Amino acid sequence: MQIENKRAVITGAAGGIGQAIAALYASAGARVFLVDRDAARLESVIAELGAGHTDQVHGIALDVTREEAVARMVDEAEGALGGIDVLVTCSGAITERELEDMSLAEWREIMGANLDAVFLACRAVFPIMKRQGSGRIITVSSQIGQRGAPRFTHYAASKAGVIGFTKALAREAAPHGILVNSVAPGPVLTSFNRDLRAETLDGTEAALPLGRAAQPEEIAGAALLLASSPHGDVFVGQTLGPNSGDVML
């Protein structure tokens, strides 16, 4: 899978899946620009991946739900890398709440973190990729956006929105040589779900056809496939589902 010397921006890069994607891309020879709002964790990831390869790994700590911050992210990434070939939108948030108890503020917070951030990042890199005549955009959605889940109406709606956004942008972008696709993981063993109810997490793995949740590294391969050539060259508007069988399409 050819990705060597590709210039990739990865948001949410200090999280489990984002870090795994960054590590896989870097090991495959890509130059990466890592973004996360957790400055301490991001600094640790950059130091780990950039050890001995400081010209290969760059990054900045900022909030990708803020329009001005995303503009800065793209300016900094383009300056550090000389262009942007790949964007992976891996940042996000999750909470658990019954609909009747959900405030508008909580709804908007999840929409902002999971959908607005994707829109802002894609809109910001799109002109760069158009000028280059090529690019790959990989959104990270969720199997909950495909099947829904009780107490996650806001999260499901945001991730379903990411999938719909991905399909629409894929049709808009393909004539410019830009391929847009999504990865929709199922349950993954990271700290992302640490604040969910114990009863939600209990039995989740056993209910999966595979009988277990995924490790972050098992999700990263799908993002590598979609960024690579020639193996990813004809994926347009697709949603790949490394979800342990939770959703079968």
User: Within a 13 Å sphere around the CA of 176, how many CA atoms are in the beta-carbon half?
Assistant: 19
Q: Packing angle between helix 153-173 and helix 104-111, nearest 10 degrees? A: 30
In 101-166, the DSSP E strands lie at: 135-140
Annotated active-site residue in 25, 155, 165, 235: 155
Residue in 162, 2, 11 with CA at minimum distance from that of residue 74? 11
The Cα 12–Cα 59 span in angstroms is: 11
CA dihedral 116, 119, 123, 126 (to 10 degrees): 150
8 A C-beta contact, residue 87 and residue 31: no
The Cα 63–Cα 54 span in angstroms is: 24
8 A C-beta contact, residue 82 and residue 126: no
User: Within a 13 Å sphere around the CA of 20, how many CA atoms are in the beta-carbon half?
Assistant: 18
Q: Is 155 a catalytic residue?
A: yes
- CB-based contacts of 123, cutoff 8 Å, min separation 6: none
- What number of other Cβ atoms are within 10 A of residue 44's Cβ? 13
Which residues does the annotation mark as catalytic? 155
